[in-house]
Amino acid sequence: MSRVFITGSADGLGQMAARLLVEMGHQVVLHARSAARAEQALRAVPQAQTALVGDLSSIAATKALAEQVNRLGRFDAVIHNAALGYREPRRVATVDGLSQVFAVNTLAPYVLTALIDKPKRLVYLSSGLHRSGDASLDDLAWERRPWQGAAAYSDSKLHDALLAFAVARRWPQVLSNALEPGWVATRMGGAGAPDDLQAAPKTQVWLAVSDEPAATVSGGYFYHMKPRDTHPVLRDVAVQERLIEACEGFSGVRLPD
């Protein structure tokens, strides 16, 4: 049995992954941005151990969430699932003055990765849209650029995969991988999304708990449990390190060696 923490698991793919894991006999801790959403998560997955509360748009709240996770003891896997979508019509500023999409999709996974006691496995949800992300890493918080919700989302999914690869390189004792679940009919994806919804949560579950040789790798990028080509910049160590340095600057949190 593995112990797995899943961010953003009150609904959507996070909740679906949680259900699969508990059905397989694993211990799952859920996460939601508010107490009401946490109660919703536990009603949907009553076999879960508990649901933690933390607003990932706030750096302070994200740090506090990491402390809550650590108080529960070390986890075998953490699935970084939480994300905002690409339909934001304007730049929404967080309490820290950052773009909400950047704060939740990029900075929060970085902060949680840095502060949660190292698990055996880390799984980051990216997207096929990462291939159109801005590899320059310029203006990460969208302070100077005219707002484009789809571009901000694509950038953040590029960042998630960069973070997965950077962690795989820096922490050889941890299996760190990224994946794209496909364009599926969740609240984020929309009712007309064409990909297989039932297949969408399986890869993150597989990477989190499977002992199959294909799943026990690090620095991989997957779609439906198969390796998939990525934006070539993901393998660029200099770009990985620029993202890590920028996230440290925004959050004041250093990624341990």
What CATH number has the domain bearing residue 180? 3.40.50.720
Q: Which domain holds residue 171?
A: 3-251
**For residues 220 and 162, what is the distance between their CA atoms, to the nearest angstrom?**
11
Q: Which of 86, 110, 153, 221 is catalytic?
A: 153
Tell me the pLDDT tens digit for each residue of 100-159: 999 999 999 999 999 999 999 999 999 999 999 999 999 999 999 999 999 999 999 999
153 a catalytic residue? yes
257 belongs to a structural domain: no
| pLDDT at 199 (0 to 100) | 77
| pLDDT at 75 (0 to 100) | 98
Does the pLDDT of residue 99 top 70, yes or no? yes
| Coil, helix or strand at residue 183 | coil
42 belongs to a structural domain: yes
* Residues 6+ positions from 108 with CB-CB distance below 8 Å: 7, 56, 57, 62, 82
Does the pLDDT of residue 182 top 80, yes or no? no
The total of structural domains in the chain comes to: 1
Residue 122 sits at φ, ψ, to 5 deg, of -125, 135
230 belongs to a structural domain: yes
120 a catalytic residue? no
CB 24 within 8 A of CB 216: no
Q: Which of 63, 124, 157, 221 is catalytic?
A: 157
